[in-house]
Structure 1
Amino acid sequence: MKQILFFSALWCALAFTSCGGGASEQTTDEATDTLSTSQDSLAAATDSMVVDGMSGATQVANAPSFNGVLMIPPQKHATITLSMGGAVHSVSFLPGSYVQKGQVILTLKNPDFITLQQTWLDAAAQIEFLEKEYARQKNLASHEAASQKQMQQSKSEYLSMKSLLDASAAQLKILGMDTHHLQTQGIHPYLEIKAPLSGYVTNMNVNLGKYFNVGEPVCDVIDKHSLMLQLTAYEKDLDDLKVGDHFEFHVNGMGNQNFEAVLVSIDQMVDSTNRSIKVYARVLNPLKDFRPGMYVSARKVSSKS
């Protein structure tokens, strides 16, 4: 009986050991599989970093990228506002048209413009007589052949008319009116609004009969030959930026074609919200298809020799 109990206990012990060994082997296999999976994941991640590097994503640390827009420098962007109001009489160009400096974009009608021309013509007609009369009275007064009162009155009339002539001439000049043409050609019925520079007409919202008040913008004229980039940089990038740096950029909607620009100015104000700062680069060899407001992506490249 004791032998039977001994062999039973021995068999149970062996069975338990066998089971424990299987579990241990299973645990070892699972660990091996986990390690293999981790190694595969690490290799995949490494491969992914290589791919990202080929696409440019990992270049951010070494060569920061900058987003921005194409813009017109303020010297080449003119907003036409009116120094005298009036109703639109005629329109010579459509939005997007190219105009030469001095070409008439539209004309306005305003009776005050006619009155101003008449004032100048009247003053110009009288000024010569009053000047000669003042000179005559001055000469007579010097020889005591006329009173000082007459001479002073003549002087006052002459200077008053000269002031009126100069003031009306200055107003006409602001309105783009040449007084020489006024003398030779007579009164112009309509006020001509001319292009202040050569470029493309944009932001035009006019139609026949529409009334514009003084100071109201009529349209813009932009010269695209001097396009620039307005890029957004951050404080961490400033140490690596200086005037004269070269950039490569591409324009949204124009594929992967690269263009060049040169940094010409760095703004001095930092945006308090996102800690960004504006930098400006002059576009080299701009295309006719470039338009202000187009989104661009740029990166700094080594300076050209």
Structure 2
Amino acid sequence: MKRNKYRIYATVIMLLSGLVLASCGNKKTTAEKPTEEHEHEEAPNTVTLTNEQFQTVGIVLGAPEQREISSAVKVNGLLDVPPQQTVSVSVPMGGFIRQTTMLQGMPVKKGQVLATLENIDYIQLQQDYLDARSQLEYAVTEYNRQQELSRENVNALKTVQQAKATFESLQAKVKGLREKLSLININIAGLEKGNIQRSVNVYAPISGYVTQVNINLGQFVNPADILFRIVNTEHLHAELTVFEKDIPRLKIGQPVRFTLANETKQRKATVHLIGREISPERTVRVHCHLDEEDTQLLPGTYLQAMIEAGAGNVQALPEAAVVNFENKAYVFVKDTPGKDSTHHFKMLEVQPGSNEQGYTEVNFPQGNIPQEIVIKGAYDLLAKMKNSGEEHGH
């Protein structure tokens, strides 16, 4: 009986062991299935099409072509005015501001009164001039008299020389005072008639627009102070910042197309001067004249420009072959043949250049130019790649 019991127990244990092994085998098979599924997943930046999908999409392959495309240099810049069209207005002699009607943005004409100043020193300067002028008249008469006496041997030569020195000294003093009075805009003709001014006017040296007003009534201004700034916008130019590597492509006279930051329409200009100094940022300033003047434009306005640098033979592809993805440009290149008549394509980043007549200049990494590029159906491949990525993400 005992032997029979042992045989039954042994049989049960063997059966249980077999069930456990079978269960482990099933788990192993189940665990291996995802691995097999992953073997069929596509590698990053690649797309696989079945033969049927390939025919449906209508993929067309081609190689880059050598085409003559007009190249353009894309640059940034500002509207600016020549130095002689911007004026800082100051006074050669300080004074108190007694009158001004200027406001920022007001148009002014050359010779227009900008402000009126008063200072007791203006009166003193005019008084000194009249006094020196009166002394000069006497000195002239005395010098002529001494010369006449010298010719008659009545006086000594020394007396004549003293009279001459006094005359020349007063003559120089009068000329100097006259120039000082002219600088502060004193009417000399009126002064010589006895009209002494207590105030002087500040006049606009050029026509333009007032861009700065730095004074107020009652303020005392010194010669070093800037009262106003005036800008003449009739001769604005485009000041472009061009990188060092692009300078050899530029020539004087090349056309420029630019768009202002606050506009959408294109304006035209012409390269007038190319700078001869490279900045620490490795850029060069390029001065361009506008083809059409516009006095309503403001200096300092930001702009984007394209300098037309002529045509050249470059590697080009049809525009449809270059796709944009995450702010970068790519093309699809045929990869190694797949199994079961599948077609593999790999996405390759490129640097696009100028566009013309439906073709885009393309620069390939490290100069390796593939010969089987998708020139039709590239956007379909990009869409499939995006969809595949979303499915795997879920």
TM over 0.5: yes
Report how far residue 278 of structure 1 moved.
Answer: 1.4
SS of the residue corresponding to residue 42 of structure 2 reads helix
Does the CA-based 8 Å contact 1:84-1:175 persist in structure 2?
A: yes
Q: Aligned to 1:118, which of 127, 130, 144?
A: 127
Q: Aligned to 1:65, which of 63, 74, 82?
A: 74
Q: Show CA shifts across 1:92-115 (max 9, x none).
A: 322211111111100111111111
SS of the residue corresponding to residue 95 of structure 1 reads coil
Task: Verify: 1:151 aligned to 2:150, yes or no.
Answer: no
SS of the residue corresponding to residue 65 of structure 1 reads strand
Partner of 2:306: 299
Distance 2:279 2:250 in 1: 17
Does the CA-based 8 Å contact 2:71-2:308 persist in structure 1?
A: no
Task: Verify: 1:78 aligned to 2:87, yes or no.
Answer: yes
Task: Verify: 1:270 aligned to 2:270, yes or no.
Answer: no
Report how far residue 264 of structure 1 moved.
Answer: 1.9
Partner of 1:50: none
- Give the number of the structure whose residues are more often strand, by fraction: 2
Report how far residue 90 of structure 1 moved.
Answer: 0.6
Amino acid at match of 1:127: L
Does the CA-based 8 Å contact 1:92-1:104 persist in structure 2?
A: no
Does the CA-based 8 Å contact 2:73-2:309 persist in structure 1?
A: no
Partner of 1:106: 115
Alpha-carbon RMSD: 3.0
Distance 2:308 2:48 in 1: 36
- Give the number of the structure whose residues are more often helix, by fraction: 1
Number of aligned residues: 264
Partner of 1:216: 225
Distance 1:37 1:145 in 2: 116
Q: Show CA shifts across 1:113-160 (max 9, x none).
A: 111112112222332332122112112112212332332232122112
Relative to 1, partners in 2 of residues 1:198 and 1:182: Cα closer, same or farther, differing over 3 Å?
Answer: farther
SS of the residue corresponding to residue 166 of structure 1 reads helix
Q: Show CA shifts across 1:276-295 (max 9, x none).
A: 12111122323233111111
Relative to 1, partners in 2 of residues 1:92 and 1:127: Cα closer, same or farther, differing over 3 Å?
Answer: farther
Distance 1:237 1:193 in 2: 47
Partner of 2:370: none
SS of the residue corresponding to residue 78 of structure 1 reads strand
Partner of 1:93: 102
Partner of 2:234: 225
Relative to 1, partners in 2 of residues 1:294 and 1:172: Cα closer, same or farther, differing over 3 Å?
Answer: same
Distance 1:40 1:166 in 2: 95
Does the CA-based 8 Å contact 2:72-2:309 persist in structure 1?
A: no
SS of the residue corresponding to residue 34 of structure 1 reads coil
SS of the residue corresponding to residue 251 of structure 2 reads coil
Relative to 1, partners in 2 of residues 1:253 and 1:155: Cα closer, same or farther, differing over 3 Å?
Answer: same
Partner of 1:236: 245
Distance 2:193 2:294 in 1: 44
Partner of 1:189: 198
Relative to 1, partners in 2 of residues 1:238 and 1:193: Cα closer, same or farther, differing over 3 Å?
Answer: same
Partner of 2:261: 252
Report how far residue 178 of structure 1 moved.
Answer: 4.1
Amino acid at match of 1:271: S
Q: Which runs of 4+ in 1 moved over 4 A?
A: none
SS of the residue corresponding to residue 87 of structure 1 reads strand
Does the CA-based 8 Å contact 2:87-2:230 persist in structure 1?
A: yes
Report how far residue 252 of structure 1 moved.
Answer: 0.9
Relative to 1, partners in 2 of residues 1:157 and 1:111: Cα closer, same or farther, differing over 3 Å?
Answer: same
Q: Which runs of 5+ in 1 are unaligned?
A: 1-11, 42-60
Report how far residue 196 of structure 1 moved.
Answer: 1.0
Relative to 1, partners in 2 of residues 1:187 and 1:284: Cα closer, same or farther, differing over 3 Å?
Answer: farther
Task: Verify: 1:39 aligned to 2:47, yes or no.
Answer: yes
Distance 1:110 1:246 in 2: 55
Identity of aligned residues (%): 28
Relative to 1, partners in 2 of residues 1:250 and 1:223: Cα closer, same or farther, differing over 3 Å?
Answer: same
Distance 2:106 2:165 in 1: 52
SS of the residue corresponding to residue 132 of structure 1 reads helix
Partner of 2:269: 261
Partner of 1:204: 213
Q: Show CA shifts across 1:43-84 (max 9, x none).
A: xxxxxxxxxxxxxxxxxx931211111111101111112211
Distance 2:235 2:144 in 1: 55
Report how far residue 188 of structure 1 moved.
Answer: 1.6
Does the CA-based 8 Å contact 1:89-1:209 persist in structure 2?
A: yes
Report how far residue 30 of structure 1 moved.
Answer: 5.8
Does the CA-based 8 Å contact 1:228-1:280 persist in structure 2?
A: yes
Does the CA-based 8 Å contact 1:199-1:224 persist in structure 2?
A: yes
Partner of 2:183: 174
